[in-house]
């Protein structure tokens, strides 16, 4: 579909390969790996994005002549799996009322509950206007297709104004959630970080690390580019095992994992070895400023191992690399006791039916008040000895 918008042309693409990789990546304000053309292409090429799993690429590009000037990762969704902003109750309510909630349009990164850019418009002075035009173009497309709704998940703060500025018949709905992030205060090493924690928290971390150290497992940190085919096969098997034990479907293929190791996306792994077998792993991606924890798997029931691989090794790496922040993944109050502090996420939602929009809006007002109270309570239980001085 082509649509004029103040001299710009909006085009919707059924695959990321239809968009020039260099032109797409020039629109990223930083090196966030999850909106890299290579990452999104790997998801599509390696079978992780497929219609039978509820995903159909519908990426948006804004063009000035032949030049791509703004873009957004966009998908037609026939379910709500792999999004981590849970709207199952909305779908149920709308369908019980006789409507069709699916398909819907989603501006997000598949399977990645990571805060980051969703409206790619570079960093020039025109970026705010271009982001707003992306929002308007997405909404117009969802309306043209007769969809129930349009959703944008895990947005950066700088993007929120684009949704407020959209000249829509009614305002976008705002939703929030809580994650837990670790912030580097310029620590020279892990013991310096530990020294800032309350005594009880520090003692518990030392005990957990000692359990792993005494377990007989060999723990190492590896760059993803250095793993061979056999090691990637074992890592992917651990990922599959995690999903199988929880009764969930694993959507990321071994080909995707192996391709991650060949791309310049900062893939890192914490591995636990027993003899010559990898028996547990945590996989991370990184940018120049942030480490992102993504996938975990283990074949052994070793106390403290999950915390060691997923959190403590990540903190050590972030300190050594002088990264600003470590985001270990969605949810998990247990992270608070290990130095991770609550951080709010933001999403925006547009429901075309006004009555439905109003009902969900009232529900979100109640939800937002409960989240405010929850986040406030979490801050009162800061793990740091000097509470308040270590808040982001």
Give domain limits for the chain.
2-178+343-380, 185-323
Q: Is the pLDDT of residue 144 over 90?
A: yes
pLDDT tens digit sequence for 166-224: 999 999 999 999 999 999 999 999 999 999 999 999 999 999 999 999 999 999 999 99
- On the question of pLDDT at 253 being above 90, the answer is yes
Pairing of strands 8-13, 290-298: unpaired
Architecture of domain 185-323: 3-Layer(aba) Sandwich (3.40)
**What does pLDDT average to over the chain?**
95
For 91, the token pair is 């779908």
Q: Where are the beta strands (DSSP E) in the chain?
A: 2-5, 8-13, 55-57, 59-64, 67-72, 74-77, 104-107, 149-152, 173-183, 218-223, 268-274, 277-286, 290-298, 325-327, 341-351
Predicted confidence at residue 387, as pLDDT, reads 59
pLDDT in tens, 265-293: 999 999 999 999 999 999 999 999 999 99
**The model's pTM:** 0.94
pLDDT, residue 6, reads 59
pLDDT at position 198 is 96
Residue 87: per-residue pLDDT: 97
Q: Does the pLDDT of residue 235 top 60, yes or no?
A: yes
pLDDT tens readout for residues 300-334: 999 999 999 999 999 999 999 999 999 998 878 89
Which architecture, in CATH terms, is 2-178+343-380? 3-Layer(aba) Sandwich (3.40)
Domains 2-178+343-380 and 185-323 share a fold: yes
């Amino acid at each position: 579909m082509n649509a004029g918008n103040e001299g710009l042309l909006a085009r919707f693409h059924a695959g990321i390969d239809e968009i020039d990789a260099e032109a797409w990546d020039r629109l990223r304000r930083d090196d966030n790996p999850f909106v890299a053309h290579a990452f999104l292409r790997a998801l599509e090429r390696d079978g992780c994005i497929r219609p039978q799993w509820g995903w159909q690429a519908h990426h948006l590009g804004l063009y000035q002549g032949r030049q791509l000037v703004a873009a957004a990762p966009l998908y037609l969704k026939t379910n709500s799996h792999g999004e981590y902003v849970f709207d199952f109750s909305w779908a149920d309510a709308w369908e019980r009322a006789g409507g069709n909630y699916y398909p819907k349009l989603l501006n997000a990164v598949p399977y990645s509950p990571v805060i980051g850019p969703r409206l790619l418009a570079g960093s020039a002075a025109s970026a705010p206007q271009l982001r707003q035009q992306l929002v308007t173009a997405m909404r117009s497309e969802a309306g043209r297709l007769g969809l129930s709704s349009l959703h944008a998940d895990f947005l950066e703060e700088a993007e929120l104004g684009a949704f407020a500025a959209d000249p829509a018949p009614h305002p976008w709905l705002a939703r929030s959630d809580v994650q837990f992030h670790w912030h580097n205060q310029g620590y020279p090493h892990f013991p310096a970080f530990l020294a800032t924690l309350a005594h009880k928290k520090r003692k518990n971390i030392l005990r957990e690390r000692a359990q792993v150290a005494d377990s007989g497992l060999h723990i190492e940190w590896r760059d993803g580019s250095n793993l061979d085919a056999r090691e990637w096969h074992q890592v992917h098997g651990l990922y599959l095992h995690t999903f199988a034990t929880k009764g969930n479907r694993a959507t990321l293929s071994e080909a995707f994992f192996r391709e991650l190791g060949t791309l310049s996306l900062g893939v890192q792994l914490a591995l636990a070895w027993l003899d010559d077998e990898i028996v547990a792993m945590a996989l991370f991606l990184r940018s120049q400023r942030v480490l992102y924890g993504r996938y975990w798997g283990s074949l052994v029931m070793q106390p403290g191992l999950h915390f060691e691989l997923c959190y403590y090794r990540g903190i050590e790496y972030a300190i050594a690399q002088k990264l600003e922040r470590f985001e270990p993944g969605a949810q998990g109050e247990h992270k608070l006791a290990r130095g991770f502090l609550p951080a709010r996420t933001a999403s925006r939602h547009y429901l075309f039916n006004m009555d439905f929009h109003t009902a969900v809006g009232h529900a979100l007002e109640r939800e937002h008040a409960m989240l405010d109270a929850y986040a406030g309570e979490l801050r009162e239980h800061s793990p740091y000895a000097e509470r308040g001085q270590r808040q982001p």
